[in-house]
């Protein structure tokens, strides 16, 4: 394994110990699921070639959905795409009437990332890259920069909401030329969906529309066209914690969100979108529950149904739904070995027999489930290494039998309901974890 910077090491350890996905260093701990990753890499190449994709990443709480999505996000950034990722929450939904959809878009815009700004906040640099390239090409061809910008935005103006979108980009350029930082800031605020009223937008930028609950998906399509015009290869949108739609108490609100998902799915499958990809992470109940999940909406159920021929160990990764495969014991051993390398060095490192003993202990405590939901096992292992590091006189054999890897820090998980539609134990905080 390559050398890890102390700052990166600390970030990985802190995230794993808290049960969340590290924002950096994922390559150091990724194991298994090679077929799924290979398929998603093909999707990224398809987006870069002008296509559109949508994938529903389905797995139990703690199975690694967020980790997997973040890994694909990093691959997309390395391949020249722009990423916009956000988690759904009670105040952030795909469709709403009280500002929740605009709030989701604003969160995605704030988290916009490129290869050089992988931690987010890349919107201003994307806009700056577009206008700088237009200015450079205008000087090279002895043309007016405004004319070049107008030409490069002409195809965007043909899309829904495209005229005002293009106008805002031109306003940013005007502010850039005049040194008007307020005008530039207003343009960026509009692009981030931070204007709450059309009156404010018209006063600041001279446009009559804003990003609102009704046009979030239209603006994502506009953004995909814009980042392509700025020199990137496409846009990857990631929406995690989709189970929050399943939790909506109002059937009308759920169906409105599912209708929006159906619209996105149809656009992608029919080729109506370009240079645009979607990743949606959710639990099995979000997908398959016929009363409140996606399967409760008949049009989605028929489009997302599993291939009836993919049974008895056979897989089909060509459809929209990817069910995360369980980690094998060998995968988990490699994962723990990678964590050991990150946290320990030299002669103080745990021997392989300690890892085997730890895994045996996990198998005895929670059975086969610890391969499906490795988050708790990883957290317990990191805690074990932390204690050994801070107490050099203690031997690992004295601790392994006392390690607790229960769902809520103190209970055996053997009784957890694993059926489709089962929720995490009452009072449990698994829904807030991200690994």
DSSP state of 159: S
Residue 341 has what pLDDT? 86
Unique residue bearing structure tokens 């694909």 = 72
- Give the CA dihedral 23, 375, 315, 296, nearest 10 degrees: -90
Those residues with Cβ within 8 angstroms of residue 76's Cβ, 6 or more apart along the chain or in another chain:
44, 47, 83, 236, 277
50: phi then psi, degrees, rounded to nearest 5:
105, 5
Tell me the C-alpha distance between 208 and 83, whole Å.
Answer: 28
Residue 302 has what pLDDT? 93
Q: Is 402 helix (H, G, I), strand (E, B) or coil?
A: helix
Residue 351 has what pLDDT? 87
Residue 290 has what pLDDT? 95
Residue 380 has what pLDDT? 84
Could you give the residue ranges of the DSSP H alpha helices within 179-278?
181-191, 198-205, 216-229, 243-246, 251-270
Q: What percent of the chain is predicted at pLDDT more than 90?
A: 58
Residue 367 has what pLDDT? 62
Length reported for the chain: 435
Q: pTM of the entire structure?
A: 0.83
279: phi then psi, degrees, rounded to nearest 5:
-120, 125
Task: Give per-residue pLDDT as tens, 139-160.
Answer: 998 899 999 999 999 999 999 9
Could you give the residue ranges of the DSSP H alpha helices within 30-161?
34-48, 65-78, 100-110, 123-140, 145-152, 154-157
Instruction: Domain 33-116+233-323: state its class.
Output: alpha beta
- Could you please report the per-residue DSSP string of 78-89? HTT-EEEEEE-B
Residue 430 has what pLDDT? 32
Residue 425 has what pLDDT? 36
Tell me the C-alpha distance between 290 and 197, whole Å.
Answer: 38
Pick from 407, 403, 400, 409: nearest CA to 373:
407
Residues lower than pLDDT 50 in the chain: 1, 407-435
Q: What angle separates helix 123-140 from helix 145-152, to the nearest 10 degrees?
A: 120
The residue extents of the domains of the chain are 33-116+233-323, 123-205, 329-413
């Amino acid at each position: 394994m390559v050398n890890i910077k102390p700052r990166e090491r600390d970030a990985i350890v802190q995230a794993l110990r808290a049960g969340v996905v590290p924002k950096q260093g994922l390559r150091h701990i990724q194991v298994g699921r090679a077929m799924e990753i290979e398929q998603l890499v093909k999707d990224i190449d398809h987006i870069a070639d002008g296509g559109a994709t949508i994938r529903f990443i389905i797995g139990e709480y703690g199975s690694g959905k967020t980790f997997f999505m973040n890994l694909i996000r990093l691959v997309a950034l390395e391949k020249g795409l722009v990423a916009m990722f956000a988690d759904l929450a009670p105040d952030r939904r795909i469709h709403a009437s009280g500002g929740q959809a605009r709030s989701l878009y604003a969160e995605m815009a704030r988290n916009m990332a490129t290869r050089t700004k992988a931690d987010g906040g890349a919107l201003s640099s994307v806009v700056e890259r577009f206008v700088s390239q237009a200015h450079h090409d205008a000087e090279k061809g002895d043309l007016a920069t405004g004319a070049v910008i107008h030409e490069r935005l002409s195809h965007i103006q043909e899309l829904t909401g495209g005229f005002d979108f293009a106008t805002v980009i031109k306003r940013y350029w005007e502010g850039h030329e005049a040194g008007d930082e307020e005008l530039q800031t207003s343009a960026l605020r509009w692009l981030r969906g931070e204007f709450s009223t059309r009156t404010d937008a018209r006063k600041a930028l001279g446009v009559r529309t804003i990003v609102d609950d009704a046009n979030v998906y239209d603006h994502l399509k506009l953004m995909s066209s814009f980042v392509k015009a700025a020199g990137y290869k496409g846009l990857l949108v990631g929406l995690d914690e989709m189970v929050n739609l399943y939790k909506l108490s109002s059937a009308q609100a759920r169906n409105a969100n599912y209708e929006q998902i159906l619209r996105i799915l149809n656009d992608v499958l029919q080729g109506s979108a370009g240079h645009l990809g979607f990743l949606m992470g959710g639990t099995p109940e979000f997908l398959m529950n016929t009363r409140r999940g996606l399967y409760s909406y008949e049009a989605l159920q028929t489009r997302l149904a599993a291939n009836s021929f993919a049974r008895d160990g056979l897989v089909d990764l060509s459809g929209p739904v990817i069910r995360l495969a369980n980690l094998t014991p060998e995968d988990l051993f490699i994962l723990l070995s990678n964590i050991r390398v990150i946290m320990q060095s030299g002669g103080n490192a745990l021997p392989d027999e300690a890892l085997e003993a730890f895994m045996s202990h996990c198998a005895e405590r929670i059975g086969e489930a610890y391969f499906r939901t490795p988050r708790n096992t990883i957290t317990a292992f990191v805690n074990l290494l932390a204690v050994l590091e801070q107490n050099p006189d203690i031997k690992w054999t004295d601790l392994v039998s006392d390690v607790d890897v229960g769902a809520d820090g103190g209970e055996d998980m053997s009784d957890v309901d694993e059926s489709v539609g089962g929720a995490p134990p009452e009072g449990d905080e698994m829904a807030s974890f991200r690994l």
